[in-house]
């Protein structure tokens, strides 16, 4: 997959099947759009393109790097489109003429039923349909994906994650929520206590789940390992405010420092708390590990 960091940097003159949106989280509803442009691209031998509006909300479900990883090998091109003041003032008609046709040479435009675009969101699917003949593209409108009669949306998923319901969040997303990052050196307290951990900093702009202990999977170099992960600041042993995903892996003995890993959160076990001393902390972690081993089917 080709990644383009700015709309102005896309200069391919070939026809395309293109979809537009924020694509925060790339949930099951978004996946219907991306799968359709891929299908059309493969069928007609044209470019399959996702144009993602980067609107910089304060709490993302997915970083740009994570979106790239999720879409890799799914479409031909991912275009990141910063939602600047200048871009926000493009009229709906100019968006169709200059971007849909002028930039992407669209043969197909694939969008959801509520897609809005252009200055003050004056453009909608009716306008796209009205201009389809003039600019030579076919409009394909995809119905919203639902879960138990509720539309799957980034807002819905954020609500679910706020309650720590990782199983439902995974159902809505189509994959386990978590983070991808580089393993950092810690203070090695876990190693001294008998349970070495991998530490990954939680991105500041990514939605933080409730702080506490989770059952998890950790992916390293194409391999997946069962784990328990603490999301938080380790209040018993640290005064830092930096939030870490600190994971103890059950069947891993390698050196992961400096490697990129993905931590997938499967189930919320308990909230983070401050213990009176290290002995209390260790006793509780021993219980967490025992629960994790039972959950994943390890013998005691």
| Average pLDDT for 158-183 | 97
Is the entire prediction scored with pTM above 0.85?
yes
Total number of residues shown for the chain: 300
Give the SS3 label for residue 126: helix
Rounded to whole angstroms, how far apart are CA atoms 24 and 30?
A: 9
Query: Of the given ranges (213-222, 236-245, 265-274, 286-295), which has the lowest mean pLDDT?
Result: 236-245
> Pick from 112, 132, 150: which residue ends a domain?
150
| Identity of the highest mean pLDDT range in 184-193, 212-221, 240-249 | 212-221
Please tell me the least confidently modeled range out of 18-27, 127-136, 238-247, 259-268.
238-247
**Does the residue 133 lie in any domain?**
yes
What does DSSP assign to residue 76? S
Task: Say if residue 24 is in the same domain as residue 131.
Answer: yes
Question: Residues 264-269: what's their mean pLDDT?
Answer: 97
Which tokens belong to 142?
A: 């995809």
pLDDT tens column, 102-118: 999 999 999 999 999 99
20-43: average pLDDT: 97
E strands, 127-273, are 138-142, 146-147, 150-151, 178-182, 198-201, 212-220, 223-232, 244-249, 260-271
Q: Which of 52, 27, 66, 57 is nearest to 154 (CA)?
A: 27
pLDDT tier, 296 (very low <50, low <70, confident <90, very high otherwise): very high
Whether residues 182 and 97 fall in one domain: no
Give 299's pLDDT tier (boundaries 50, 70, 90).
Answer: low
Which stretches within the chain are classed as H helix? 28-44, 64-71, 85-88, 92-94, 125-135, 154-162, 166-173, 189-193, 278-296
| Mean pLDDT lowest among 38-42, 279-283, 289-293 | 279-283
Same domain, 136 and 245: no
Containing structural domain, residue 203: 176-296
Within-domain flag for 290: yes
**What is the model's pLDDT at position 58?**
75
* C-alpha distance from residue 234 to each of 244, 249, 275, 277 (Å): 8, 18, 10, 12
Q: Let me know whether 32 and 144 are in one domain.
A: yes
Query: Do residue 91 and residue 133 come from a single domain?
Result: yes
Same domain flag for 208 and 280: yes
- Model confidence at 276, pLDDT cuts 50, 70, 90, reads confident
Domain co-membership, 184 together with 88: no
**Residue-level pLDDT at 255:** 84
Q: What is the CATH number of the domain that holds 145?
A: 3.40.50.620
């Amino acid at each position: 997959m080709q990644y383009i960091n700015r709309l102005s940097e896309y200069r391919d003159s070939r026809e395309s099947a293109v979809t537009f949106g924020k694509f925060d989280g790339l949930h099951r509803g978004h996946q219907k759009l991306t799968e359709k442009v891929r299908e059309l691209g493969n069928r007609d031998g044209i470019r399959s393109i996702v144009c993602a509006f980067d609107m910089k909300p304060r709490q993302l479900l997915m970083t740009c790097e994570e979106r790239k990883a999720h879409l890799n090998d799914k479409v031909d091109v991912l275009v990141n489109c910063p939602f600047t003041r200048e871009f926000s003032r493009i009229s709906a008609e100019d968006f169709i003429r200059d971007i849909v046709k002028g930039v992407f040479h669209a043969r197909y435009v694939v969008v959801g039923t509520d897609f809005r675009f252009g200055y003050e969101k004056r453009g909608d699917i009716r306008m796209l349909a009205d201009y389809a003949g003039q600019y030579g593209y076919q409009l394909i409108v995809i119905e919203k994906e639902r879960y138990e009669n509720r539309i799957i949306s980034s807002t819905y998923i954020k609500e679910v994650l706020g309650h720590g319901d990782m199983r439902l969040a995974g159902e809505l997303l189509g994959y386990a929520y978590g983070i991808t990052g580089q393993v950092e050196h810690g203070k090695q307290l876990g190693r001294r206590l008998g349970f070495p951990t991998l530490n990954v900093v939680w991105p500041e702009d990514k939605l933080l789940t409730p702080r506490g202990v989770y059952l998890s999977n950790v992916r390293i170099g194409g391999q997946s390992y069962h784990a328990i992960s603490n999301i938080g600041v380790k209040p018993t042993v640290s005064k830092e405010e930096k939030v870490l995903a600190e994971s103890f892996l059950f069947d891993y003995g390698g050196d992961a420092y400096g490697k990129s890993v993905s931590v997938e959160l499967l189930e919320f076990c308990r909230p983070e708390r401050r213990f009176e001393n290290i002995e209390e902390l260790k006793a509780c972690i021993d219980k967490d590990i025992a629960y994790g081993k039972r959950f994943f089917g390890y013998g005691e």
